[in-house]
Amino acid sequence: MKQYHVAILGATGAVGMQMLEVLLERNFPLASLHLLASKRSAGKVITMKGQSFTVEEACDNSFEGIDIVLGAAENDIAKRFIPYAVKSGAVVIDNSSAYRLDEDVPLIIPEVNPEAIHEHHGIIANPNCATIIALVALQPLHAQAKIKRMIVSTYQAVSGAGVNGIKELDTQIDALRTDQPVDIQTFQHQIAFNLIPQIGGFDEAGYSSEEMKMQNEGRKILKQPNLQVNCTCVRVPVYRSHSESITVEFEQPLNVETARELIQNGCGVKLVDDPNNCVYPMPLDTSDQDLVYVGRIREDLSGHTNALSLWCCGDQVRKGAATNAVQIAQLLIEQE
């Protein structure tokens, strides 16, 4: 089997570290693996699954001889270095939002639109975590009845804001337990024992940037420019795994039992739907694994025809980011 020279850009962050773990878990055919980060992290040794890697400072010539780059850096870093990676001949799978809506960059969820892999010109974008979780959950139903409209509320874990989000929840809980002042740095308000109905900045219509990603990315991935999406995104004091409440209207009829059967046999999803016995998806159960759990499937009672409501949960650091990127890389080498 051919082996590949791989680099992770932004390797020391939460998603970058998870990318490293997933690559090793999946026995990705590595000829070499380079962990690229800022100058202050250079020289740090990271040990995972019995292997040690030394972090290198990311610079313009870091990508010479690299076949695949997994991007786990913020937008500004992605825009700074990805052109150099592509110029060096690498294919970049980028987790930032810098290129997601670029017409020349495919936006891929392997369970949903793997065929888009053929459209890349050196850059492939990884969708937003909440978009990935929603569309993986809905894909078996979409394939049967075609999605027309979505009403979504997301309940997003603090790890969606990276390592600093996790630290902030920890420090605030500790401060409140000892009657100390609460320090607010990462989120707009105290997150401990609270909900914050804002992720990203607001536009003139009152929707946040995170909320618009569900519509804009969903339209691109499903190739449905008229897909109707209304989304509300909420940050919740949960460490890991995003949860989503979705009401979805289809073009064709789809009843509850058929939907359950489709989810049961779907790719990347797990049916967890026995509410009479208190069995439904929860963040605690979906963390540290790669399936999206789907349950609470029921008919919509608001008067819309061909509509169902459901609840889903998925680990946004893994399937919502790192694992999806590695799956794209696996898809890429399979196509070769």
From 129, 231, 233, 313, active-site residue: 129
The span from the CA of 188 to the CA of 198, in Å, is: 8
Active site residue 231: no
Question: Which residue in 34, 120, 142, 242 is the catalytic one?
Answer: 242
Count of C-beta atoms within a 10 Å radius of residue 239: 15
Amino acid at 169: L
Which of the 8 DSSP states describes residue 336? Answer: -
* Sequence-ordered list of residues with C-beta below 8 angstroms from that of 5, at least 6 positions apart, any chain: 30, 31, 32, 34, 65, 66, 67, 68
Residue 75, C-beta contacts closer than 8 angstroms, at least 6 positions apart: 96, 97, 98
Is 129 among the residues known to form the active site?
Answer: yes
Structure tokens at 205: 């219509």
Q: Cβ(137)–Cβ(310) under 8 Å?
A: yes
Q: Give the CA angle between residues 104, 105, 108 to the nearest 5°.
A: 140
Q: What are the residue ranges of helices labelled H in the chain?
A: 14-25, 75-87, 129-145, 163-177, 209-222, 256-264, 283-286, 323-335
Q: Which residues contact 256 (CB under 8 A, 6 or more apart)?
A: 297, 298, 299, 308
Least Cα distance to 298 among 264, 248, 333 occurs for 248
CB 133 within 8 A of CB 159: no
Q: Which residues are catalytic?
A: 129, 242
